[in-house]
Amino acid sequence: MQPSHYAGDKRLGKVRTEMVKRAARELIARFPDKFTNEFESNKTAVNETVRAPSKKLRNLIAGYITRLKVTDSNKTAMMQMSPEAQLGLGEDEDEQTQEESTPAAV
């Protein structure tokens, strides 16, 4: 049996170097309003603010910024929901109780 870190394992995540993560976090801290949830706009914003040595590095930074922004917006949306909605209860549960209480037509 192979260890779980082999490439054939579907559970592997994407690896980003600490330099990319540090640069992305620093850019978000310095320019919080400049970045959005869209990769293309973040790519141009990174290009304007940082002089990246390569296109690949610029894209890695922009991609990680996008990931952080999407995760942050998902957390914000989740915090605004009621506890029942966060757990996935609510409308589905109401529909089930209505179906159970309605007599079946024969």
Distance from C-alpha of 33 to C-alpha of 45, rounded to nearest angstrom: 10
Could you tell me if residue 2 is inside a domain?
no
- Domain hosting 42: range is 18-101
Counted domains in the chain: 1
The widest CA-to-CA distance across the chain, in whole angstroms, is 73
Could you tell me if residue 65 is inside a domain?
yes
Could you tell me if residue 12 is inside a domain?
no
Could you tell me if residue 69 is inside a domain?
yes
Could you tell me if residue 6 is inside a domain?
no
Digit-by-digit pLDDT tens for the chain (106 residues) are 455 555 555 566 667 789 999 999 999 999 999 999 999 999 999 999 998 889 999 999 999 999 999 999 888 888 887 777 767 776 655 555 556 666 666 5
Distance from C-alpha of 27 to C-alpha of 46, rounded to nearest angstrom: 8
Could you tell me if residue 106 is inside a domain?
no
Could you tell me if residue 75 is inside a domain?
yes
Burial, 37: exposed, middle or buried (Cβ in 10 Å; 0-12, 13-18, 19+)? middle
CATH number, domain of 90, equals: 1.10.60.20
Sign of CA dihedral 37, 41, 43, 45: negative
